[in-house]
């Protein structure tokens, strides 16, 4: 059986796909390229690569449809794909970012892609599920470790990109993790949307107020924080968001 220790790049632009593949391989990753969207669905589900880099604009089957198909099933193909999907688009607006996140993408980058930003996103997505040291204890209300934040059963570990709530792992996308980390690192402080957008811009994201609201909504759902009576991440109308500590 073929191992899945490789990244599949789905892009009809052969030159760009080869540049991305060469850069990733220079940094220690094995890659394969697929130019055909319909064939990409079959390969992703059948071969289960460790990560998929997926272009939105493809001539035969667009990236959003591919993402939806591999996440939720496709006629005539058994199975699905639960690994990380990083979507790329040349469109300079937030519509595709929102659509991509809603169809199951884990992260999003707008073209032209900066190589080191791409590498950082790939590394972050691939380290989402590492096993921390078995001696690690999540007991203090707030750790002195600058990479670990803890509040009343919620643990946010930046080093391992890991979220736990009452001992249970919570799966967040890279962007959702960064947003939760930003809010949780400022408990009791209102973070306005413009400041959040600036924070994400420094990380290489294109971020709008709409995508921020969407990510907060998704974080709340995953944490079980009722949006109509949120107790962890509160909406301060006309201002922004406030993370409630203990």
Write the class of the CATH domain 148-243. Answer: mainly alpha
**How would you list the strands of the sheet with 240-243, edge to edge?**
190-192, 240-243, 233-236
Residue 90, SS3 per DSSP:
coil
How are beta strands 162-165 and 154-157 bridged, if at all?
Answer: antiparallel
Residue 162 CA to residue 54 CA, distance in Å, equals: 24
List CB contacts of 123: < 8 A, sequence separation 6 or more. Answer: none
Q: Residue 47: name the closest of 107, 89, 7 by CA.
A: 7
Which of 16-30, 151-165, 167-181, 225-239 is modeled with the greatest confidence? Answer: 16-30
Q: Domain 7-126 belongs to what architecture?
A: 3-Layer(aba) Sandwich (3.40)
Give how far the C-alpha of residue 69 lies from the chain's centroid of Cα atoms, to the nearest Å.
18
List CB contacts of 51: < 8 A, sequence separation 6 or more. Answer: 7, 8, 83, 84, 85, 86, 122, 125, 126
pLDDT at 131 over 70: no
pTM of the model: 0.58
Determine the pLDDT at residue 82. Answer: 84
Question: 């220079």: which residue's tokens?
Answer: 26
Over the stretch 91-109, which tens digit does the pLDDT of each residue have?
A: 655 555 666 666 778 888 8
Tokens of 26: 């220079």
List CB contacts of 194: < 8 A, sequence separation 6 or more. Answer: none
What does the domain layout of the chain look like in residue ranges? 7-126, 148-243
pLDDT at 140 over 60: no
Helix residue ranges per DSSP H, the chain: 14-26, 37-47, 63-72, 95-103, 115-126, 174-184, 193-202, 209-223
The residue among 108 and 16 whose pLDDT is bigger is 16
Average pLDDT over residues 46-58: 92
């Amino acid at each position: 059986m073929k191992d899945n220790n490789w990244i599949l790049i789905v892009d009809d632009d052969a030159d760009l796909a080869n540049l991305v593949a060469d850069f990733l391989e220079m940094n220690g990753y094995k890659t394969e390229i697929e130019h055909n969207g319909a064939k990409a669905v079959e390969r992703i589900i059948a071969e289960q690569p460790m990560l998929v880099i997926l272009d939105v604009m493809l001539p035969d089957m667009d990236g959003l449809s591919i993402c939806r198909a591999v996440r939720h099933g496709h006629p005539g193909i058994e199975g699905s794909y639960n690994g990380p999907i990083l979507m790329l688009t040349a469109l300079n607006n937030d519509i595709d970012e929102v659509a991509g996140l809603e169809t199951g993408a884990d992260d999003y980058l707008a073209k032209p892609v900066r190589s080191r930003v791409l590498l950082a996103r790939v590394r972050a997505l691939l380290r989402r599920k590492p096993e921390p040291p078995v001696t690690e204890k999540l007991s203090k209300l707030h750790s002195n470790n600058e990479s670990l934040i803890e509040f009343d059963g919620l643990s946010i570990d930046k080093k391992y990109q890991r979220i736990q709530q009452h001992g249970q792992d919570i799966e967040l996308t890279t962007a959702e993790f960064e947003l939760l980390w930003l809010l949780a690192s400022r408990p009791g402080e209102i973070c306005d949307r413009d400041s959040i957008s600036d924070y994400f811009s420094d990380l290489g994201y294109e971020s709008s107020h709409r995508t921020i609201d969407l990510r907060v909504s998704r974080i709340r759902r995953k944490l079980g924080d009722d949006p109509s009576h949120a107790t962890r991440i509160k909406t301060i109308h006309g201002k922004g968001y406030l993370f409630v500590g203990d």
